[in-house]
């Protein structure tokens, strides 16, 4: 019994570790790689794709699909041909029809042998599970792929992914928003350092909004430490930047965590996304 409990505790700790990495990478290039690693902690997937879909309700059609990133194995030529971003008859794709109906966060499971109604072709060489959320006319879609030669997603795995979507989808919406803002505000040739500054400003704004919503007051130094950790900084890096000892950073974190009612860095990450 103790051995089982310890194993579950280790798995849970590893999941929180990956979650912390994912939160800190919102708006950055390694966001999809971190999401892939987080999901693979519990459910094996060969590829993760993140896309943002623009919907025209007046025409009941998807008018644009932007791929925001991917991680894992490359899609086969057959799969690329029927992907909604490339398909000749995009609005006849089963996933598109479900996206047009989305109001609340949704999980859609597409078996590899399902047909595209327009040309009667199979959807490709992978089983697919998509997590979808919608704000106004934009939908964020997290597409998870598993090779057709492997078993399809089980009910238990789909249930876990639905549970995980409560965390992944809000982060995805933030990442998509950061991507749009960076593109809109930054001219061609903008350096990664400038883009990171945009992301940091957004993180700071959202952090302050969460504090106000929770009616929690942190000191200036406590805020600096929390923001540094949420941005992916290590204790030594933050200590060097603030010209204090590592132990001081740990103290500021403990004080902040106590005020927020969380435990440690991973508790801070979960608090930030409202989980």
Q: Which tens digits make up the pLDDT trace of 3-38?
A: 454 555 556 667 777 888 888 888 888 899 999 999
pLDDT single digits (tens) 158-217: 999 998 898 899 889 888 888 777 766 555 444 444 444 444 567 788 888 888 888 888
* Structure token pair of residue 210: 């969460």
User: What is the pTM (predicted TM-score) of this model?
Assistant: 0.64
Angle at 266 between CA 265 and CA 269, to 5 degrees: 90
- List of residues 6+ apart from 264 with CB closer than 8 A: 253, 257
CA 224 from centroid of its chain's CA atoms: 24
* Structure token pair of residue 219: 């000191």
* Structure token pair of residue 187: 């001219």
What's the topology of domain 187-272? Arc Repressor Mutant, subunit A (1.10.10)
Do the domains 2-182 and 187-272 sit in the same CATH topology, yes or no?
A: no
Q: Contact 144/137 with Cβ under 8 angstroms?
A: no
Position 113 scores a pLDDT of 56
Lowest-confidence pick of 8-12, 76-80, 160-164, 223-227: 76-80
Looking at domain 2-182, its CATH class is alpha beta
Domain ranges of the chain: 2-182, 187-272
Residue corresponding to tokens 């406590």: 222
Q: Contact 127/119 with Cβ under 8 angstroms?
A: no
Burial of 6 (0-12, 13-18, 19+ CB in 10 A): exposed
Position 138 scores a pLDDT of 86
Arithmetic mean of pLDDT, 65-69: 85
């Amino acid at each position: 019994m103790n051995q089982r409990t310890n194993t579950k505790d280790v798995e849970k700790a590893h999941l929180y570790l990956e979650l912390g990495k994912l939160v800190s990478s919102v708006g950055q290039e390694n966001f999809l790689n971190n999401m892939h690693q987080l999901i693979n902690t519990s459910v094996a997937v060969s590829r993760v794709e993140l896309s943002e879909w623009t919907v025209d309700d007046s025409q009941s059609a998807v008018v644009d699909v932007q791929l925001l990133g991917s991680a894992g194995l490359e899609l086969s030529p057959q799969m690329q041909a029927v992907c909604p971003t490339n398909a000749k008859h995009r609005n006849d794709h089963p996933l598109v029809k479900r996206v047009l109906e989305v109001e609340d966060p949704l999980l859609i499971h597409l078996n590899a042998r399902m047909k595209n109604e327009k040309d009667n072709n199979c959807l490709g060489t992978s089983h697919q599970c998509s997590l979808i959320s919608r704000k106004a006319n934009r939908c964020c879609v997290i597409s998870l792929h598993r090779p057709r030669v492997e078993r399809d997603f089980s009910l238990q795995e789909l249930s876990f992914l639905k549970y995980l979507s409560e965390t992944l989808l809000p982060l995805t919406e933030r990442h998509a928003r950061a991507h749009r803002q960076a593109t809109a505000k930054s001219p061609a040739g903008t350096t990664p350092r400038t883009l990171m500054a945009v992301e940091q400003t957004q993180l700071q704004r959202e952090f302050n909004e969460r504090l106000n919503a929770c009616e929690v007051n942190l000191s200036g130094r406590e805020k600096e430490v929390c923001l540094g950790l949420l941005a992916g900084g290590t204790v030594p890096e933050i200590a060097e930047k603030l010209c204090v000892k590592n132990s001081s950073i740990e103290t500021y974190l403990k004080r902040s965590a106590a005020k927020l009612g969380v435990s440690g860095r991973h508790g801070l990450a979960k608090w930030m996304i409202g989980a």
